[in-house]
Chain A
Amino acid sequence: GAGVSQSPRYKVAKRGQDVALRCDPISGHVSLFWYQQALGQGPEFLTYFQNEAQLDKSGLPSDRFFAERPEGSVSTLKIQRTQQEDSAVYLCASSGGGQGVWETQYFGPGTRLLVL
């Protein structure tokens, strides 16, 4: 389909492992966002890219979290040395961006991460 896709859909990691979560935005979308959704909560902003530039990473909870979008399309969120508190659903969203700063963000299905 033409929507935002994320992989894997589910990930179980042992505490201390590194994980990498992938997001494929809607083709041509300039802006890409990562959010973290804990159980029973609303999504919380992590970081934002416009093309390949990471313009805001104020929501990343620690230096164990790292995101990249090297070619301005696919993005990867990496979590190093995972901790149990990292267990959550990680949502990716994309929007047209550019001049249309009011444009809607479209979300992927999320990656559910469980750290044991």
Chain B
Amino acid sequence: AQSVAQPEDQVNVAEGNPLTVKCTYSVSGNPYLFWYVQYPNRGLQFLLKYITGDNLVKGSYGFEAEFNKSQTSFHLKKPSALVSDSALYFCAVRRMNRDDKIIFGKGTRLHILP
């Protein structure tokens, strides 16, 4: 069965500092991995995805994520946090070559402190 774990309910980072939001996954076969962001009263917005190729994936708003197959992780990173990055972040996994559902983690709330 597929699953996603986001071990931190909340992450606090000072503005200008690097940030990391952690994600590990479990899936049969090779995964497709995604990060979505959710702002208050708004739907999920796609940030980035890993399909194949380079393990470091670059996405929207300066975010990037590193796929690590041996550790089954897909941590989200940004070199310098902005206050506007404060939001709820969801990691998600989907089975490769299957047009089907995404399994989401429970989310990590990111607070960027001015």
Point out residues on A near B: beta carbons under 8 Å. 4, 31, 33, 35, 40-45, 48, 50, 55-56, 59, 91, 93, 95, 97, 101-102, 104-110
Contacts and interface: CB of A to CB of B under 8 A. Distances in A.
B99 interface: yes
Interface of B: 4, 32, 34, 36, 41-46, 49, 51, 90, 92, 96-107
Point out which of A43, A44, A48, A106 has the most chain B C-beta atoms below 10 A from its C-beta. Answer: A43
A106 B46 contact: yes
B43 A104 contact: no
Contacts of B105: 42
Contacts of A35: 104
B61 to A, nearest CB: 16
A56 B43 contact: no
6 contacts: A4-B43, A33-B101, A42-B105, A102-B32, A104-B46, A106-B46
Contacts of A108: 43
Given A42-B105, A43-B90, A50 B43 contact: no
Given A91-B43, A102-B32, A43 B104 contact: yes
A41 B106 contact: yes
Contacts of B46: 104-107
Contacts of B41: 109
A91 B44 contact: yes
B17 to A, nearest CB: 26
A107 B43 contact: yes
Given A41-B106, A43-B90, A97 B99 contact: yes
B99 A107 contact: no
A42 B106 CA distance: 4
A92 to B, nearest CB: 9
